[in-house]
Amino acid sequence: MSAVLGLALFSPFLTLPTPALGEPVMIEQAIVQARRRGSCLSLRCNDAEWRLASAIELHGRATDWRSTAPSLPGQRHWVRLSAPARAREHRDNYSNRWRIGTLYGIQVLRDGPVQLGVEFGAGYRLAPRSDDGIGQAGPVFRGSIDFGRQFGERARLSQHVLFETGNGQSFVKQSLGLDIDLWPAWTLETDYVIRHRTYGASGSETAESWLGIRRRF
Protein backbone atom coordinates (compact mmCIF):
# COMPACT_ATOMS: atom_id res chain seq x y z
CA MET A 1 0.00 0.00 0.00
CA SER A 2 2.86 2.40 0.73
CA ALA A 3 4.15 1.98 -2.83
CA VAL A 4 0.72 2.64 -4.30
CA LEU A 5 0.28 5.69 -2.06
CA GLY A 6 3.68 7.07 -3.13
CA LEU A 7 2.82 6.69 -6.79
CA ALA A 8 -0.49 8.39 -6.27
CA LEU A 9 1.15 11.39 -4.58
CA PHE A 10 4.05 11.84 -6.97
CA SER A 11 2.42 10.70 -10.24
CA PRO A 12 1.98 14.34 -11.52
CA PHE A 13 5.78 14.74 -11.42
CA LEU A 14 6.55 11.50 -13.26
CA THR A 15 6.35 10.90 -16.97
CA LEU A 16 5.47 7.23 -16.49
CA PRO A 17 1.88 6.01 -16.60
CA THR A 18 0.52 4.77 -13.29
CA PRO A 19 0.25 0.97 -13.30
CA ALA A 20 -2.98 -0.74 -12.50
CA LEU A 21 -3.66 -1.77 -8.94
CA GLY A 22 -3.07 -5.32 -7.95
CA GLU A 23 -0.04 -5.86 -10.23
CA PRO A 24 3.02 -6.03 -7.94
CA VAL A 25 5.49 -6.72 -10.77
CA MET A 26 4.46 -3.63 -12.75
CA ILE A 27 4.47 -1.50 -9.62
CA GLU A 28 7.99 -2.62 -8.75
CA GLN A 29 9.25 -1.89 -12.29
CA ALA A 30 7.69 1.56 -12.23
CA ILE A 31 9.34 2.37 -8.89
CA VAL A 32 12.79 1.26 -10.13
CA GLN A 33 12.51 3.31 -13.31
CA ALA A 34 11.29 6.35 -11.36
CA ARG A 35 14.31 6.09 -9.04
CA ARG A 36 16.64 5.96 -12.03
CA ARG A 37 15.17 9.10 -13.50
CA GLY A 38 15.24 10.90 -10.21
CA SER A 39 18.95 10.19 -9.65
CA CYS A 40 20.06 10.97 -13.24
CA LEU A 41 22.33 14.04 -13.20
CA SER A 42 23.94 13.52 -16.64
CA LEU A 43 22.81 14.65 -20.09
CA ARG A 44 21.93 11.02 -21.04
CA CYS A 45 19.77 9.15 -18.53
CA ASN A 46 19.94 5.45 -17.88
CA ASP A 47 17.10 4.57 -20.25
CA ALA A 48 18.30 6.67 -23.22
CA GLU A 49 19.77 3.66 -24.99
CA TRP A 50 16.36 1.95 -24.92
CA ARG A 51 14.74 4.92 -26.61
CA LEU A 52 17.52 4.96 -29.21
CA ALA A 53 17.03 1.27 -29.96
CA SER A 54 13.30 1.82 -30.40
CA ALA A 55 13.94 4.71 -32.82
CA ILE A 56 16.31 2.57 -34.87
CA GLU A 57 13.80 -0.25 -35.10
CA LEU A 58 11.06 2.21 -36.04
CA HIS A 59 12.97 3.77 -38.95
CA GLY A 60 14.42 0.44 -40.06
CA ARG A 61 18.00 1.63 -40.51
CA ALA A 62 21.18 2.00 -38.47
CA THR A 63 21.56 5.43 -36.90
CA ASP A 64 24.56 6.91 -35.16
CA TRP A 65 23.86 8.09 -31.61
CA ARG A 66 25.63 11.38 -32.40
CA SER A 67 23.00 12.19 -35.02
CA THR A 68 20.01 11.21 -32.84
CA ALA A 69 21.13 12.75 -29.55
CA PRO A 70 19.56 16.18 -28.83
CA SER A 71 21.89 19.10 -29.44
CA LEU A 72 22.48 21.79 -26.82
CA PRO A 73 23.10 25.51 -27.41
CA GLY A 74 26.78 26.05 -28.19
CA GLN A 75 27.44 22.36 -28.76
CA ARG A 76 29.83 21.55 -31.60
CA HIS A 77 28.66 19.28 -34.39
CA TRP A 78 30.48 16.03 -35.16
CA VAL A 79 32.47 16.17 -38.39
CA ARG A 80 34.02 13.12 -40.03
CA LEU A 81 37.62 13.88 -41.02
CA SER A 82 39.82 12.03 -43.49
CA ALA A 83 43.59 12.27 -43.82
CA PRO A 84 44.47 13.35 -47.38
CA ALA A 85 47.41 11.83 -49.22
CA ARG A 86 50.72 13.65 -49.06
CA ALA A 87 51.36 15.83 -52.09
CA ARG A 88 54.23 14.92 -54.37
CA GLU A 89 54.93 18.56 -55.28
CA HIS A 90 55.98 21.44 -53.05
CA ARG A 91 56.87 25.10 -53.51
CA ASP A 92 58.85 27.29 -51.16
CA ASN A 93 60.10 30.87 -50.96
CA TYR A 94 63.17 31.32 -48.77
CA SER A 95 65.53 34.03 -47.57
CA ASN A 96 68.62 33.92 -45.37
CA ARG A 97 71.95 35.72 -44.97
CA TRP A 98 73.37 34.12 -48.11
CA ARG A 99 70.53 33.79 -50.63
CA ILE A 100 66.95 34.69 -51.45
CA GLY A 101 64.85 32.86 -53.99
CA THR A 102 62.10 30.41 -54.78
CA LEU A 103 62.14 26.63 -54.98
CA TYR A 104 60.01 23.95 -56.64
CA GLY A 105 60.28 20.24 -55.87
CA ILE A 106 58.66 16.98 -56.88
CA GLN A 107 58.90 13.43 -55.50
CA VAL A 108 59.19 11.24 -58.59
CA LEU A 109 59.48 7.95 -56.66
CA ARG A 110 58.62 7.62 -52.97
CA ASP A 111 56.45 4.57 -52.17
CA GLY A 112 58.83 1.69 -52.93
CA PRO A 113 62.38 0.69 -52.04
CA VAL A 114 63.67 3.36 -54.47
CA GLN A 115 63.15 7.08 -53.76
CA LEU A 116 63.87 9.89 -56.21
CA GLY A 117 63.30 13.61 -55.65
CA VAL A 118 64.15 16.69 -57.72
CA GLU A 119 64.32 20.36 -56.68
CA PHE A 120 65.22 23.46 -58.67
CA GLY A 121 64.68 27.21 -58.51
CA ALA A 122 66.07 30.68 -59.15
CA GLY A 123 67.42 33.19 -56.66
CA TYR A 124 69.99 35.84 -55.87
CA ARG A 125 73.19 35.14 -53.95
CA LEU A 126 73.93 37.85 -51.37
CA ALA A 127 77.17 36.54 -49.82
CA PRO A 128 79.68 34.40 -51.79
CA ARG A 129 81.43 31.40 -50.22
CA SER A 130 79.14 31.45 -47.18
CA ASP A 131 77.72 28.02 -48.01
CA ASP A 132 77.89 25.50 -50.84
CA GLY A 133 77.65 27.54 -54.03
CA ILE A 134 79.49 29.85 -56.42
CA GLY A 135 82.02 32.39 -55.20
CA GLN A 136 80.38 35.57 -56.50
CA ALA A 137 77.24 37.51 -55.63
CA GLY A 138 74.50 37.80 -58.22
CA PRO A 139 71.56 35.90 -59.75
CA VAL A 140 71.86 32.10 -59.63
CA PHE A 141 70.04 28.98 -60.71
CA ARG A 142 70.10 26.25 -58.07
CA GLY A 143 68.83 22.69 -57.85
CA SER A 144 69.36 19.24 -56.37
CA ILE A 145 68.68 15.55 -57.02
CA ASP A 146 68.11 13.06 -54.20
CA PHE A 147 68.30 9.32 -54.76
CA GLY A 148 67.79 6.59 -52.18
CA ARG A 149 67.73 2.79 -52.31
CA GLN A 150 66.73 0.46 -49.48
CA PHE A 151 68.42 -2.95 -49.32
CA GLY A 152 66.38 -5.21 -47.06
CA GLU A 153 65.68 -3.92 -43.56
CA ARG A 154 69.20 -2.94 -42.50
CA ALA A 155 71.03 -1.17 -45.35
CA ARG A 156 70.24 2.07 -47.19
CA LEU A 157 72.18 3.81 -49.96
CA SER A 158 71.66 7.56 -50.48
CA GLN A 159 73.06 10.02 -53.01
CA HIS A 160 72.60 13.79 -53.08
CA VAL A 161 73.71 16.02 -55.96
CA LEU A 162 73.58 19.80 -55.48
CA PHE A 163 74.40 22.30 -58.22
CA GLU A 164 74.42 26.08 -58.58
CA THR A 165 75.37 28.23 -61.56
CA GLY A 166 75.53 31.93 -62.32
CA ASN A 167 77.88 34.73 -63.52
CA GLY A 168 79.95 32.28 -65.59
CA GLN A 169 80.64 30.02 -62.59
CA SER A 170 79.28 26.65 -61.54
CA PHE A 171 79.37 24.55 -58.40
CA VAL A 172 78.54 20.85 -57.99
CA LYS A 173 78.48 18.86 -54.76
CA GLN A 174 78.01 15.08 -54.72
CA SER A 175 77.35 13.22 -51.48
CA LEU A 176 77.26 9.43 -51.30
CA GLY A 177 76.34 7.59 -48.11
CA LEU A 178 75.70 4.05 -46.92
CA ASP A 179 74.02 3.33 -43.59
CA ILE A 180 73.87 -0.18 -42.10
CA ASP A 181 71.95 -1.03 -38.93
CA LEU A 182 74.19 -3.24 -36.79
CA TRP A 183 72.00 -3.42 -33.67
CA PRO A 184 68.72 -1.72 -32.71
CA ALA A 185 70.53 1.42 -31.49
CA TRP A 186 73.81 1.19 -33.44
CA THR A 187 74.31 2.26 -37.08
CA LEU A 188 77.40 2.14 -39.29
CA GLU A 189 77.52 5.35 -41.38
CA THR A 190 79.76 6.16 -44.33
CA ASP A 191 79.86 9.46 -46.26
CA TYR A 192 81.88 10.53 -49.27
CA VAL A 193 81.61 14.14 -50.52
CA ILE A 194 83.08 15.72 -53.66
CA ARG A 195 82.94 19.49 -54.33
CA HIS A 196 83.72 20.83 -57.77
CA ARG A 197 83.98 24.54 -58.60
CA THR A 198 84.46 25.99 -62.08
CA TYR A 199 85.75 29.52 -62.78
CA GLY A 200 85.61 30.05 -66.53
CA ALA A 201 88.11 27.65 -68.11
CA SER A 202 89.70 26.59 -64.80
CA GLY A 203 88.33 24.89 -61.73
CA SER A 204 89.08 23.13 -58.47
CA GLU A 205 87.94 19.95 -56.80
CA THR A 206 88.03 18.74 -53.20
CA ALA A 207 86.95 15.46 -51.60
CA GLU A 208 86.37 14.26 -48.08
CA SER A 209 85.06 11.07 -46.49
CA TRP A 210 83.83 9.89 -43.12
CA LEU A 211 83.31 6.47 -41.52
CA GLY A 212 81.88 5.96 -38.07
CA ILE A 213 79.40 4.23 -35.80
CA ARG A 214 76.49 6.21 -34.39
CA ARG A 215 74.50 5.23 -31.33
CA ARG A 216 70.96 6.52 -30.86
CA PHE A 217 69.79 7.28 -27.33
- Residue 142 contacts residue 134 (beta carbons within 8 Å): no
Q: Kindly indicate the confidence band of residue 120, based on its pLDDT and cuts at 50, 70 and 90.
A: very high
Cα separation, 199 vs 131, whole angstroms: 17
Kindly report the number of other CB atoms within 10 A of residue 197's CB atom: 20
pLDDT digits (tens, 9 = 90+) for 197-209: 998 778 889 999 9
pLDDT digits (tens, 9 = 90+) for 77-106: 555 555 556 788 999 999 999 999 999 999
Domain extent listing, the chain: 2-68, 89-215
